[in-house]
Structure 1
Amino acid sequence: MTLTADDVHHGYGTDPVFEGVSLTVAPGEVLAIIGPSGVGKSTLLRLLALFDEPDGGAIEFGGEAVWDVSERKRLDYRRRIGMVFQEASLFDASVRRNAEYGLRVRKPWSDRLRHELATLVGRTNGTGDAIDALETVGLREKAEQDAASLSGGEAQRVAFARALAYDPEMLLLDEPTSDLDPRNTAVLEDAVLEARNRGIGVVIATHDMHQAERIADRVAVLLENQIIEVGETERIFEMPRDDRTRKFIDGELIY
């Protein structure tokens, strides 16, 4: 389903964060949100993830305003959205158990039923989508390892696998590689593209212009409480229509 922000207004007290933000992310595309630190990228992702309700406007999933439906139906929408934060938060358990967490919460099957289903579809290890997700981020061989023994980059890859394991329709990423080395960054970027190829819509908030150029199909520029421009990645970087976009990309705007 398409995820949409329609004329969203939001703020904290008397301080506005957004004044009429609108954007759409479709299944099977990567949308990068770029903008300076403190501009509200994380806040926008929280609104899209249905963690917070906007002060005005609407967040829509498949054309339905999600804050106008019952709490039960809104929970169903929320369960179809995965989110990865800037810092991974893992449990004191195995890598596999961490990757399975979202799947267990959203699909609380018994271990026996999960094993039977896995056997029917040819996954005789009984761990189903969690193992597939760990394979996507290159950590299948560490599935039974204690998560506490992982490096920071590996932990972030597990957090990504956890969000991917239950096959969400939308995946929201909040600066997921800002503290990672080039190798871990490359693994996660490849995983983002694989998710897109599976038909998952991806929104990534990033301050890394080169990352946006590498993996995004479209880019939205968030400045001055608004999305000032959104379009195909090449056009945004090569022929921006708003002069503020050009100045931001070229480093002429100081925040």
Structure 2
Amino acid sequence: MSLEAADVSHGYGDETVLDGVSLSVSPGEVVAIIGPSGVGKTTLLRLLALFDAPDDGTISYDGEDVWRVAEDRRLAYRRRIGMVFQEASLFDASVRRNAQYGLRVRQAWPDRIRHEFARLVGGQNGTGDAIDALETVGLADKAEQDADSLSGGEAQRVAFARALAYDPDILLLDEPTSDLDPRNTAVIEDAVAEARTEGIGVVVATHDMHQARRVADRTAVLLGDGIIEVDRTERVFDDPRDDRTRKFIDGELIY
């Protein structure tokens, strides 16, 4: 299932943040959005996550404009999209319960009721997918540990597992490794690669251009209020068509 923003604009009050932005992600593809802090990367991810409606333009899921369908259908689309924020924001519960959270809240109510009934009556706790996701980020051995005892990097890995456990079609990552040490960064980047092999489309907003080179099939450069260039990652970095891209990559453009 592909997700696409087409000529979208969005702002807050009188301030325009994005103007005429287009970007898509396909199954099994990793797309990086690079640009300086405050340029609108998070705003674009929120539009793609269907949290906010664009002021202009369209957000399409598998070719259907999600803001022109019934609310229950849009909610069904939203449940197929996972998002990991810059801050992990875990609950005061075990690592396993945190990883399971998305499995519960993203289910439609009838499915959620059946899940709880099976858990209470049959002893099924639905941990399989959550444990698999924790295994992907190297934390299955800490499943029963209190989340409050984790390091910041481990907490972010749990947040990634929480989004991955539901087996989303699309995974959106907002600066997922901005404050992490190299080891935790490598684990999450490996998990991104694993998601790609599972056919999940991934969009990573990052200010780390080296990370974009490592993980992304395509890279979009967001400067000002729009995307000035999007293409294969190797070409964007090695042979940019827009001179502003070259200057940004070389550190000549200061924001």
Q: Same fold (TM over 0.5)?
A: yes
Moved over 4 A (4+): 114-119
Could you say which residue in structure 2 is the equivalent of 1:135? 135
1:151 paired residue number: 151
Which one-letter code corresponds to 1:5 in the other structure?
Answer: A
Q: Given the alignment of the two structures, is residue 20 of structure 1 paired with residue 25 of structure 2, yes or no?
A: no
Aligned residues between the structures:
250
- Mark the CA change 1:118 to 1:2 in structure 2 (over 3 Å): closer, same or farther: farther
Instruction: Tell me which residue corresponds to 2:5.
Output: 5
How far residue 114 of structure 1 moved from its aligned partner, in angstroms, is 6.0
The structure-2 alpha-carbon separation of the partners of 1:31 and 1:117, relative to structure 1 and needing over 3 Å to count, comes to farther
The aligned counterpart of 1:161 is 161
Offset at residue 18 of structure 1 (A): 1.1
Instruction: Identify the residue that residue 200 of structure 2 maps to in structure 1.
Output: 200
User: In structure 2, what residue type is equivalent to 1:182?
Assistant: P
Report the RMSD for the aligned CA atoms in angstroms: 1.7
Write out per-residue CA displacement over residues 176-204 of structure 1, whole angstroms, 9 at most, x where no aligned residue.
00000000000000000000110000000
Secondary structure at the aligned position of 1:110 is classed as: helix
Q: Which residue of 2 aligns with 1:122?
A: none
Using the TM superposition, give the Cα deviation of residue 110 of structure 1 relative to its aligned residue in structure 2, in angstroms.
Answer: 2.8
Q: For 2:126 and 2:176, how far apart are their aligned partners in 1?
A: 29
User: By how many angstroms is 1:113 displaced?
Assistant: 2.9
TM-score when normalising by structure 1: 0.95
SS in 2 for 1:128: helix
Query: C-alpha offsets along residues 17-58 of structure 1, whole Å, 9 cap, x if unaligned?
Result: 111000111010000000011100000000000000110000
1:114–1:168: structure 2 CA closer, same or farther, 3 Å change rule?
farther
Residue in 2 that maps onto 1:191: 191
- After superposition, the Cα gap between the structure-2 partners of 1:217 and 1:127, relative to the gap in structure 1 and judged at 3 Å, is same
- 1:116 touches 1:126 (CA, 8 Å); kept in 2? no
1:199-229 Cα deviation digits (max 9, x unpaired):
0000000000100000000000001111100
Separation in 1 of the partners of 2:123 and 2:10? Answer: 44
- 1:111 to partner: Cα distance: 4.9
Q: TM-score, normalised by structure 2?
A: 0.95
Structure 2 counterpart of 1:210, one-letter code? H
The alignment-based identity, stated in percent, is: 76
- Stretches of structure 1 that go unaligned for 5 or more consecutive residues are 120-124
**Residue identity matched to 1:252:** E
Alpha-carbon distance, 1:235 to partner? 0.2
1:134-191 per-residue CA deviation (whole Å, 9 max, x = no partner) reads: 0000000000001110000000000000000000000000000000000000000000
Matched, 1:92 2:92: yes
Tell me what 1:212 maps to. 212
Query: Cα deviations across residues 70-101 of structure 1 (Å, max 9, x unaligned)?
Result: 01000000000000000101111100000000
Counterpart of 1:233? 233
Give the structure 1 partner of residue 251 of structure 2: 251
Q: CA deviation at 1:112?
A: 6.0
Contact 1:114 1:127 in 2 (8 A): no
Q: Is the 8 A contact 1:118 1:127 kept in 2?
A: no
- Kindly report which structure 2 residues correspond to 1:162-181, keeping only aligned pairs within 5 A, or say none: 162-181=162-181
SS of the residue corresponding to residue 127 of structure 2 reads coil
Show the counterpart of 2:118: 113
Q: Aligned partners of 1:117, 1:30: CA distance in 2, in Å?
A: 39
Amino acid at match of 2:115: S
Mapped partners of 1:184, 1:148: distance in 2: 17
Residue matched to 1:47: 47
Report the AA paired with residue 200 of structure 1: I
Cα separation, partners in 2 of 1:140 and 1:112, compared to 1, 3 Å: farther
The answer on whether the counterparts of 1:115 and 1:126 sit within 8 Å (CA) in structure 2 is no
